[in-house]
Structure 1
Amino acid sequence: MYSESRTETVSDRLIVQDATPGADETRNDTTSQANQSAPETDGASDRAAAAGGGLLLAGVALAAANMRPAVTSLSSILGGVRDSLGASTTWASVLTSVPTLCFGVAGIAAPLLARRWGMRRVVGIALGVLTAAMLFRVTGAATTVLVGTVVSCAAIAMCNVLIPVVVKESFPRRVGMATGLYTTAMAAGGSVGSAFTPWLRAELGGWRLALATWAVLALAAFLVWNSAGRGGDSGAGAAPKATAGAANGGASLLRSPLAWAVTVYFAMQSLVAYVVMGWLPEVFKSAGAGAGAAGGLLGLVLLIGVPISMVLPPLVTRTKGQSVWTVCLAATAISGFLGVLFAPMSAPLLWALLIGVGMSAFPLALVLISLRTSSAADTSRLSGMAQSIGYLIASTGPFLFGMLHDVTGSWSASLVVLIGVLTVQALVGTFAGRPRTV
């Protein structure tokens, strides 16, 4: 269930202009002509609005498809990139921690930038920066890859925070459809980025061209989004309200146990997700899987999220509470990681399937933010708290997961800790899933 603003927008108004004075004997003719031309004008306006909305939806889908390939494409060949550059496991651990750290910072910075320049414009600039950064990071050594990835993830983070707000504002009567398109495209983009990058590396003769290929997708999103944005920036007026709401009421949410439960739940599922996207191929490769197979398994994990992202939110909103959902998803993921821990190559497809289903906690976390609030203002405040604090907490996961492997020489301790995180996710999920509001 998503909160919908009832504020009237300019695009919802019908402005009728009739300023053609004339003599009495010609007034009837003028009125007749106006009546004949008005339907044509209204029809043209409706068609233009529909075309603009369709172009914006295409921009939303393309932008969402870019939210994960910059991360999953690199993680699917991370070992090869690290060896090629002579980098350390610590470097790889830092690299995999970058996305969530950027998302946490962006949760604070994005509303400020949107208030100054408007949400659509900031998203458009971010997509341009993403395109350039994805090309830049393949031009140099380990430091260049790290810097380019940081800038790429910062750009993604801006889009990650602002696009859902643009969706709610631009499609107030089709929020469910547009949000489903957004989450589905995001899952599909991550899956394709992971599954095809090892193949691209083999076909193009190296990891640099393979990673650079995904800049084409970012460029397409940049062009379509900015074409759709020519109709006006809807975000310029909305961002200050959201920011003010957070400033005026943030302290009360920090004192709310329910708000913290939702935030910790968001943090735990994000931590697991980015550990999986950053390290799962390496875990399977250590167990004996080839680079292509390991990337394909991550692609399967992410691909499973495509249909689940479409059907889970409507199902969840029809139940009185969501505690059972939170526990079942966490238990499913735990089952998959136990398989990876004790018998990784006995049934890797099954483990990937279980982990993929368990990672569907992401759309559930987004739904909980809406269900645990009673107004749009509270939803905005809770979303800001959950995303900024949650992503900052989650940013420690990929780094610690890699460092534990560096210290112990195996993935066992890292996987045990991850199972512990999922246990915490289930416990706080039972509290966050109870039918109450902050």
Structure 2
Amino acid sequence: MTDTLRQVHAADQATPGRPRAEGTALILLGIVLIAANLRLSVSATGALLDQLGSSLHLGSGVESFLTAVWPLAFAVGGVSGSWLARRYTAGTVIMWAVAVLALGQVVHSLHDTPALVFGSVLAGLGIALANVLLPVVVRQYFPDKVGPVTGLYAMVLSAGAAFAALASVPVSEHTHNVDAGLAVWVVPAVIGLVAWIAARPQRAAHPTNAAVAAPAAHLPLRQLARSPLAWSMALLFGLQSTGAYVVMGWLPTVLSDAGMSASKAGVVLSAIFFIGIPINYAAPHFGARMRDPRPLLTGLSLASTIGFTGLILAPNSLVWLWAFILSFGMATFPLVLALFPLRGGTPEGTAALSTFSQSVGYLIATTAPLGFGLLHDATGSWTVPLLLIVVATVLQAVVGLYVASPRRGTVS
């Protein structure tokens, strides 16, 4: 993070008409603190799913919905990101998004099934808008550092998910209250909100660079709907999200059914994210600089294929090996994020492509965690659901070969 800050300061001081260094440094800090919050609730809910089910007497259908509600909320909330950013600026929308996230975390920590579901939806909507618009802020304020800055916030996002997976179960056990394992994550959301308000990205631009501070120009989503590249980006995002949300939502339950304790299953989930911290930084950093990122994207996709296959063959005895390999597979997410500014071309193109791809992609991904649990109930085993995820990771690699080709242009 220190190196990235130094690079940002140097670039800002050397380029006339760019946002002042002190402004961009605050914005970078705000990006980091908000990114730390973007998977806390998701990871905590997955780690506590068994305990929540027992405490609230949830049926398998409700548990499946709780794992699917995140990508569903991301799909619904994300579609409005481009329009809201055009009307109010990306910085302003992100501020309100984090406030909604914090409110949702408060609501879903109440000991009540409707509150758990509704609070998760609220938190998911807040995360959705931040997911869609953080790449826009990166493209606006750090156009020459897209890879390093994307890698930085992806690395912090992974660290937040890891910490939530590791700490949520111990917090609930220490307090003898499963809801405390959810409520504790309101605190970092408030800290991120305060930091973002202090950074004021919508006003931090130099007066001579009004285009940066102004709302983005409009690129209609219907224009993207005619673009094979945009649909391919959406499919790629949806396929990588499919595997990611199965890991975050169902892995602890899969491991518990294989004979592992809930606390150890949470440690395994957190290990995937902790190991992935440097990988999540390196993948977009190098991917954005590579002339042809296809080998990197294919390798990460195949890591997911191997990891999920391993969970079928030896879910307990070799679990640490599969956790290590899946850490590489999960790094597909930040690499795809780095492709948004590169394939978007302009800030407005990035906003539209990010909105379109994440909304459609998360809608695709919604079926995975929901169907994953229902398939388990129908077959009495995790084998068939895991096999379908293996197929999705192979398809992800194929689509990635198209999207990451150096012959592909931009949508704008």
TM-score class, shorter-chain normalisation, is: 0.7 to 0.9
The partner residue of 1:246 within 211, 216, 220 is: 220
Quote how far apart the aligned CAs of 1:280 are: 0.6
Contact 1:121 1:233 in 2 (8 A): no
Pair 1:178-2:152 in alignment = no
Distance in 1 separating the partners of 2:160 and 2:329: 19
SS at match of 1:140: coil
What letter is aligned with 2:65?
Answer: V
CA RMSD of aligned residues (A): 2.5
CA displacement 1:162-215 (0-9 Å, x = unmatched):
122122213344434332221111111111111111111122222111210110
Q: CA deviation at 1:313?
A: 2.2
- Within 1, Cα distance between the matches of 2:266 and 2:285? 31
Answer with 348-357 or 102-111: which moved more.
Answer: 102-111
8 Å CA contact 2:89, 2:202 repeated in 1: no
Cα distance in structure 2, aligned partners of 1:106 and 1:190: 21
Matched, 1:330 2:330: no
2:242 to 266, 271, 290: 271
The one-letter amino acid paired with 2:72 is L
Say if 2:219 and 2:348, in contact at 8 Å, map to a contact too: yes
Code of the residue aligned with 2:196 in structure 1: it is W
Which residue in the other structure is 2:112 paired with? Answer: 141
Q: Distance in 1 between matches of 2:379 and 2:202?
A: 56
Identify if the C-alpha distance between structure 1 residues 237 and 435 changes in structure 2 by more than 3 Å, giving closer, same or farther: same
Distance verdict in 2 for CA 1:363–1:354, change over 3 Å: same
Amino acid at match of 1:85: L
Distance 1:53 1:370 in 2: 18
Q: Distance in 1 between matches of 2:142 and 2:290?
A: 25
Letter in 2 for 1:131: A
The question of whether the paired residues in 1 share the 8 Å contact of 2:166 and 2:270 is answered with yes
User: Would you say 1:392 and 2:363 are equivalent positions?
Assistant: yes
Separation in structure 1 between the aligned mates of residue 79 and residue 346 of structure 2, nearest angstrom: 21
Alignment match, 1:93: 64
Deviation at 1:389, TM superposition (A): 1.1
Cα deviation code 1:94-115 (max 9, x no counterpart): 1111111122222321222223
Are the structure 2 counterparts of residues 374 and 61 from structure 1 closer, same or farther at C-alpha, using a change threshold of 3 Å? closer
Q: Which runs of 5+ in 2 are unaligned?
A: 1-11, 206-210
Match of 1:21 in 2: none
Q: Does 1:224 align with 2:195?
A: yes
Q: Distance in 2 between the 1:184 and 1:401 partners?
A: 27
Q: Which residue of 1 aligns with 2:283?
A: 312
Aligned residue for 1:34? none
Alpha carbons of structure 1 residues 371 and 167: separation in structure 2 relative to 1, 3 Å: closer
Relative to structure 1, the CA distance from residue 268 to residue 13 in structure 2 (aligned partners, 3 Å threshold; closer, same or farther) is closer
CA spacing shift, 1:320–1:163, aligned 2, 3 Å: closer
CA deviation string 1:299-357 (max 9, x = no partner)? 11122221012212233344443333233222222211122112111111111111111
CA separation of 1:433/1:181 partners in 2, compared to 1, >3 Å: closer, same or farther?
A: closer
Structure with max Cα Rg? 1
Indicate yes or no: 2:409 matched with 1:435: no
Question: Which whole-Å CA distance do the structure 1 matches of 2:185 and 2:245 have between them?
Answer: 19
Aligned to 1:245, the other structure's residue is in SS state coil
What runs of 5+ residues in structure 1 fail to find an aligned partner? 1-7, 15-45
Look up the match of 1:57: 28
Residues 163 and 433 (structure 1 numbering): CA distance in 2 closer, same or farther, change over 3 Å?
A: closer
Alignment of 1:34-53 (within 5 A): 49-53=20-24
Deviation at 1:387, TM superposition (A): 1.4
Q: Report the equivalent of 1:281.
A: 252
Are the aligned partners of 1:320 and 1:435 in contact in 2 as well (CA < 8 Å)? Answer: yes
Q: Tell me the equivalent position of 2:137.
A: 166
1:348 match: 319
Q: How many residue pairs are counted as aligned between the two chains?
A: 391
For the 8 Å contact 2:91–2:201, the answer to whether it is kept is no
179 and 324 in structure 1: CA distance in 2 versus 1, 3 angstrom threshold: closer
Percent identity over paired residues: 35
Residue in structure 2 matching 1:154, options 118, 125, 148: 125
Query: In the alignment, is the contact (CA less than 8 A) between 2:375 and 2:385 conserved in 1?
Result: yes
**For the structure 1 residues 239 and 357, does the alpha-carbon distance in structure 2 shift closer, same or farther, using more than 3 Å as the test?**
same
Residues 382, 116 of structure 1: alpha-carbon distance in 2 compared, 3 angstrom cutoff = closer
The question of 1:128 aligning with 2:93 is answered no
Give 2:9's aligned residue: none
Report what 1:71 is aligned to. 42
The residue identity in structure 1 corresponding to 2:224 is G
